[in-house]
């Protein structure tokens, strides 16, 4: 059945941890899975619609629409993540906290691709490793919230849950199922523009100055970027001299899409049984994005999200926050990676600057004691969100840099390796995180605070992060 059974009380399901819900312990049967088997599991962050008719209609439409990405592409990403897990590639995953339908414009898509490409250059140069680029883009629409309501001008209204559920505008906060279909078309248009730009030379390594540092004020950062570009240009001209520049990988790159797999009705509708081109067997692929992750709020080992995720072929991520116990972590890996595929699971750690030193070593140890080989990525943003003096949500750039530096060091000290970074960023000159080479202060936040959810790194702060990693690797 497309919809969950009526015997489930949708209103009650809104509250997260009902005492009767067994959210711990594994009871997942490996051989009994289909895209709707999560319906029988307790769910958190659920969306309650006023009528299920509209939901049914939306899901029916989604089921009829073609896949957005293919098994071939998904398998390719899985192979690259295997390399990352083995320390032979580095992952850069980044983009908005909440992507809006309105971000589906030429300018916005280009600026996000541009910052990811600029960072890639710096990271390739620094890590000396092939880079795996994954955007939080073309579908990053659903948001988990710590509070389901908020007060606006003295009125209590539902919180914004992401453009595929309700609208940011206070008049649009009622969940609207037609937004699920809209999400598909905005993903498709975004993905189409990414694909056409890449196949037309947008990422050509011979033209890195085209990705100009339009919003970077600091002359020191500009000069460092120029050094990297000069080094790469020199390398390319040498390759031309010796006739080794014919590879098409210099003119284009692989770029993958990702989002939090939160809205399971949507994910279920885009999950298709398709032929695995490697062996012709038909398997379940989530065709809405190449990579999906489970948020820190929805990672209960016996909950609906883990149940959904365990059945798809896509490589998957799990956000790992400070409340994750080592036992839970191992149970989640046992469920999501029951076949022990190297790089199948990416652990995206987001502890916060005050927690990482204590927790990360225990998590590294716990995973080492298993036969799971994971990709370790640091998300230095989500554990470091705080309130600014004016009440805006912000992050201190120092905390972000320090958590990332600690992640690199702690992995090294524990005979492990950090395989990538996950960031909330934008290619624009926003003022949402304080600090960085632009030295933004609490007072500066008002200047261009554009985010509808979490504060993002600006173009210049993002490059600072890339240089931190590059410096650490070259020191």
Q: Which of Mn ion, ligand PEP, none does residue 350 bind (CB under 5 to 8 Å by kind)?
A: ligand PEP
Q: Which of Mn ion, ligand PEP, none does residue 436 bind (CB under 5 to 8 Å by kind)?
A: none
- Interface with ligand PEP includes 319 (CB under 6 A)? yes
Q: Which of Mn ion, ligand PEP, none does residue 396 bind (CB under 5 to 8 Å by kind)?
A: none
Q: Where are the alpha helices (DSSP H) in 153-312?
A: 178-199, 219-241, 264-269, 304-309
Q: Which of residues 392-421 bind ligand PEP (CB under 6 A)?
A: none
Nearest residue relative to ligand PEP (C-beta):
295
- Interface with Mn ion includes 265 (CB under 5 A)? no
- Which residue, 350 or 395, has its beta carbon nearer to ligand PEP? 350
Locate 118 and state its tokens: 């600029």
- Interface with ligand PEP includes 350 (CB under 6 A)? yes
Pick from 78, 61, 55: nearest CA to 339: 78
Q: Which of residues 434-473 bind ligand PEP (CB under 6 A)?
A: 454
Q: Which of residues 229-288 bind ligand PEP (CB under 6 A)?
A: none
Residues 312/339, Cβ–Cβ less than 8 Å = no
Smallest distance, Mn ion to C-beta of residue 28, A: 28
- Interface with ligand PEP includes 162 (CB under 6 A)? no
Pick from 391, 302, 223, 371: nearest CA to 18: 302
From candidates 35, 139, 295, 436, binder to ligand PEP by CB under 6 A: 295
Task: Give all strands (DSSP E) within 218-374, no chain letters.
Answer: 256-260, 271-275, 282-286, 291-294, 316-320, 345-349
Alpha-carbon span 446 to 430, nearest angstrom: 10
CA count, 13 A, side-chain hemisphere, 194: 29
- Interface with ligand PEP includes 382 (CB under 6 A)? yes
Alpha-carbon span 203 to 195, nearest angstrom: 11
Q: How many CB atoms lie within 10 A of CB 160?
A: 21
Alpha-carbon span 137 to 451, nearest angstrom: 15
From candidates 58, 69, 84, 97, binder to Mn ion by CB under 5 A: 97
Smallest distance, Mn ion to C-beta of residue 288, A: 19
- Which residue, 145 or 272, has its beta carbon nearer to ligand PEP? 145
Residues 320/46, Cβ–Cβ less than 8 Å = no
Q: Which of residues 294-323 bind Mn ion (CB under 5 A)?
A: none
Smallest distance, ligand PEP to C-beta of residue 63, A: 27
Q: How far is CA 355 from CA 110, 171, 420, in A?
A: 36, 39, 19
Smallest distance, ligand PEP to C-beta of residue 295, A: 3
Smallest distance, Mn ion to C-beta of residue 382, A: 6
Q: Which helix (H) or strand (E) holds 248?
A: none
Locate 6 and state its tokens: 């009526």
Radius of gyration of the chain (CA): 22
Q: Which of Mn ion, ligand PEP, none does residue 144 bind (CB under 5 to 8 Å by kind)?
A: ligand PEP
Q: Which of Mn ion, ligand PEP, none does residue 267 bind (CB under 5 to 8 Å by kind)?
A: none
Q: How many residues are given for the chain?
A: 475
Alpha-carbon span 68 to 188, nearest angstrom: 6
Region from 95-103, 257-265, 351-359, 461-469 binding Mn ion, contact rule CB under 5 A: 95-103
User: What does the CA dihedral 385, 387, 101, 311 come to, rounded to 10 degrees?
Assistant: 30
- Interface with ligand PEP includes 67 (CB under 6 A)? no
- Interface with ligand PEP includes 296 (CB under 6 A)? yes
- Interface with Mn ion includes 454 (CB under 5 A)? yes
- Interface with ligand PEP includes 310 (CB under 6 A)? no
- Which residue, 229 or 294, has its beta carbon nearer to ligand PEP? 294
* Sites of contact with ligand PEP (CB under 6 A): 97, 144, 295-297, 319, 350, 382, 454
């Amino acid at each position: 059945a497309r919809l969950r059974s009526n015997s489930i009380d949708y209103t009650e399901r809104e509250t997260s941890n009902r005492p009767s819900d067994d959210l711990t312990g594994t009871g997942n049967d490996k051989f009994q899975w289909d895209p709707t088997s999560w319906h029988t599991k307790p769910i958190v962050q659920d969306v309650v619609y006023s009528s299920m008719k509209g939901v049914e209609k939306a899901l029916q439409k989604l089921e009829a629409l073609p896949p957005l990405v293919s098994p071939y592409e998904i398998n390719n990403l899985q192979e690259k993540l295997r390399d990352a897990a083995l320390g032979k590639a580095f992952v850069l995953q980044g983009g908005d906290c909440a992507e809006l339908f309105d971000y589906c414009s030429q300018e916005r898509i280009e600026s996000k691709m541009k910052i990811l490409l600029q960072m890639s250059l710096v990271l390739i140069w620094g890590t000396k490793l092939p880079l795996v680029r994954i955007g939080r883009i073309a579908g990053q629409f659903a948001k988990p919230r710590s509070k389901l309501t908020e007060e606006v001008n003295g009125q209590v209204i539902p919180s914004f849950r992401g453009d595929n559920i309700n609208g940011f505008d206070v008049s649009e906060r009622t969940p609207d199922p037609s937004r699920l279909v809209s999400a598909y078309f905005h993903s498709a248009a975004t993905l189409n523009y990414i694909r056409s730009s890449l196949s037309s030379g947008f990422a050509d390594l011979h033209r890195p100055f085209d990705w100009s540092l339009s919003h970077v004020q600091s002359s020191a950062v500009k000069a460092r970027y120029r050094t990297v570009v000069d080094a790469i240009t020199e390398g390319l001209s040498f390759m031309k001299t010796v006739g080794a520049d014919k590879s098409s990988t210099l003119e284009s790159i692989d770029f993958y899409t990702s989002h939090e797999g939160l809205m399971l009705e949507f994910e279920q509708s885009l999950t298709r049984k398709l032929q695995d081109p490697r062996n012709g067997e038909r398997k379940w692929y989530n065709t809405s994005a190449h990579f999906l992750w489970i948020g820190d709020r929805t990672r209960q080992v016996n909950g609906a999200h883990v149940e959904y995720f365990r059945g798809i072929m896509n490589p998957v991520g799990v956000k790992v926050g400070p409340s994750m116990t080592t036992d839970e972590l191992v149970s989640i890996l046992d469920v999501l990676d029951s076949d022990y595929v190297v790089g199948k699971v990416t652990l995206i750690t987001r502890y916060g600057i005050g927690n990482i030193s204590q927790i990360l070593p225990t998590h590294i140890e716990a995973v080492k004691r298993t036969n799971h080989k994971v990709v370790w990525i640091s998300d230095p943003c989500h554990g470091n969100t705080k309130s600014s003096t004016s009440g805006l949500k912000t992050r201190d750039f120092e905390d972000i840099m320090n958590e990332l530096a600690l992640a690199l060091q702690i992995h090294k000290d524990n005979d492990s390796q950090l395989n990538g970074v996950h960031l909330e960023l934008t290619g624009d000159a926003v003022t949402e995180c304080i600090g960085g080479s632009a030295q933004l202060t609490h007072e500066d936040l008002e200047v261009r605070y554009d985010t509808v959810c979490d504060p993002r790194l600006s173009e210049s702060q993002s490059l600072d992060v890339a240089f931190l990693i590059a410096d650490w690797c070259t020191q």
